Structure formats: structure tokens, C-alpha cells
Structure 1
Amino acid sequence: MCLGVPMKILSRDGDTIVAEVDGVQKEASVMLLGEEVGVGDYVIVHAGFAISRLDEEYAQETLRMMKEVFAPEDMR
């Protein structure tokens, strides 16, 4: 199963961004996006590519739900 994860952009250099979620940083390409993104924006990162831009509220809610779904049974 592959999963796209909402991440916050920390830096951008050309088509390459560094994005972060829960302290984990990842490089990704923005070459597939049809819109401009910059530092502070939230994007869905999948397989090394930013594939969609999100507003912060939607990104935070998605991350909350992902944590709930993927938490071990005894942590729910």
C-alpha cells in the first residue's frame, strides 16, 4: 500500500523542497504540481513528489485522522 502524507514545506530550491511532518524531513519534487508552492505551505508527498497542495486546517485534520487510524490498538 502506498500512502500520500501531508507535509509542511520548510525550504525550496527550484523544483526541490524539503518538507516535514512530526519531525521527519524529506526531500520531494514539486515538478508535478500545477500551482506555485512555497515555504509554509502544506502538500501531499507521495513517492518523492508533492502531488497536491492543501490548506493548513485540512492538512492538520488529515494528520490527526492518520495518527488515529495507524495507532496501535492499545493506544486508541
Structure 2
Amino acid sequence: MNRIIRIGTRDSPLAISQTIEVQKCLHRLGYCSHLFFIKSEGDLIQNISLYKFKKVGIFTRNLTNVILSGKIDMALPSL
């Protein structure tokens, strides 16, 4: 396979660890991939309790926007 799969993930330790496992699976199947680390709103704003956000997608919205823009092929925020 010549094409490199662009994988977007949050840069939290859990998300990175899980994404690397997916990357290993892809590699075993013959696919090359590259990781792109994307900060989520929840990652950037750490001084507010999660329940005070009162909105959905604080950990996934930025990944969704990047995948819809075509800059990555898949997104793995955390499995």
C-alpha cells in the first residue's frame, strides 16, 4: 500500500496509547500511517469542571472538524 493513513488523536496519554495500538494493527495489515496530535477544547481549558461546560463534544469537536476538512483520514479521540 502506497498511501499513508493520517490518524488524528488527542494528545492525552490514554488516547495516544490506544491510537498506537490501532496503528500497530494497521501496520500488521500492511498499511502505513502517521499520527497527528490535536488538542481538544477539553484539553485546552483545564480550569473549569467538565460539568460546567454544559455542551457536548468538548473532547471530540476539534477532531471532527479536522477530519471533515480532509486533513486526516480517521480520528481516534479515545476508544
Superposed pair shares fold, TM > 0.5: no
Q: Which has the higher Rg, Structure 1 or Structure 2?
A: 2
Q: By percentage of residues, which structure has more strand?
A: 1
Structure 1 length-normalised TM? 0.25
Structure 2 length-normalised TM? 0.25
Q: By percentage of residues, which structure has more helix?
A: 2
